[in-house]
Amino acid sequence: MASSKKMLQIFVASPDLGLPSRSLTLSPYLTLHSLKLSLFPSQNLTQTLNCLYFSLNGKPLLDSSTLSSADVKPSSLLTLRLRFSGGGGDGGATGAESRDCYLNMYAVKKPDKVDPNETRLSRWTTCAFSSEPLAPPCVIDRIGNIFNKESLVEALIHKRLPKEFSHIRRLKDMIPVHLSPIPDAGRQEMRFQCPISGLEFNGKYGFVAIKGCGHVLSGKALKEVKTSACLVCHKEFSELDKIVINGTLEEVALLRERMEEERGRSREKMEKNVGCSLSGAKHGVGETAGSLECVGKDRSAKRFKAVDIAPVNATKEVYASIFTSSKKTEFKETYSCRSLPLGRN
């Protein structure tokens, strides 16, 4: 009688779920099903639990068995595994169940739903592109998204910007901004505030960046102190220099319109310049070729070439090949060997 009551110390681990091994002292009469329930006590997870099974030394165990009937010895390691659908055979495994399994598994890991409030707030505390916590130097685009400059520049150079940021085409489309940190050394992630009103930059209040100087002020401060000079550096600004950060849909639409307008204007200006040089060429037939060539050169000069920024010790061609499709070679391909450099043999 005494021996049958003896508790059993075993280890349970689940690499599938990313759970490290832990030691448990259990009654030998505990069923594996109850053990599972005790590991995930919080929620109604029947479906998830059905996707999990224990194995001992690589051998799957039935949920209905007790530790003792499954021959689990003291100090054994039970592994909690995820049931993958592997062609069925167990009378119920389908792809759909397996998918459900995964979804439930993630539900276990992240029990709380994404709070829309939190999503909204995260726009104020993280980089709109990389989702990393905001850390100066920061920039905004012309429609009021805020970024960590480094991640945005890098994405731009490597052409990794998603479509939603396709309006950011060059460095000029990034406006450097100065965020005022809240002095609090205890926190790891920086938080920011309006340098005038002290309102926190967290999504609860409207903020405006001034394009010329880059200072970021709360809308409230700007409204209360009626001025056309920056409240921090006293530089004059116009209504058009104000960019609402993380604005409403209407505000963003307005900013976008303004951006397109400005782009149209600068395009016009550029075309005018090109037109001038072309009309200048009309006067002397002999000069035509020269001017055209000039225009051509201007255009090619604007194209970004990786070779131009190659590090000092880099072989330029090799460096460029990182960014562009590789150089045409005479390598032949056969159906079994793609791109095998036969030419070299």
Q: Using CA atoms, how far apart are residues 167 and 242, in angstroms rounded to an integer?
A: 18
Q: What is the dihedral of CA 191, 196, 199, 200, to 10 degrees?
A: -10
Least distance (Å) from Zn ion to the CB of residue 137? 16
Cα dihedral sign, 174-176-180-182 = positive
Query: Residue 10 or residue 213: which is nearer to Zn ion going by CB?
Result: 213
Q: How far is the CB of 245 from Zn ion (least distance, A)?
A: 15
Give least dist CB 212 to Zn ion, A: 7
Q: What is the closest distance, in whole angstroms, from the C-beta atom of residue 221 to Zn ion in the complex?
A: 12
- List residues near Zn ion by CB under 5 A: 213, 215, 230, 232-233
Number of other residues whose CB lies within 10 A of the CB of residue 97: 14
Phi, psi of 215 (to 5 degrees): -75, 145
Q: How far is the CB of 196 from Zn ion (least distance, A)?
A: 11
Phi, psi for residue 177 in degrees, rounded to 5: -125, 150
- In order, the DSSP letters of 223-266 are HHS--SB-TTT--B--GGGEEEET--HHHHHHHHHHHHHHHHHH
Helices 249-283 and 285-302 cross at an angle (nearest 10°) of 150
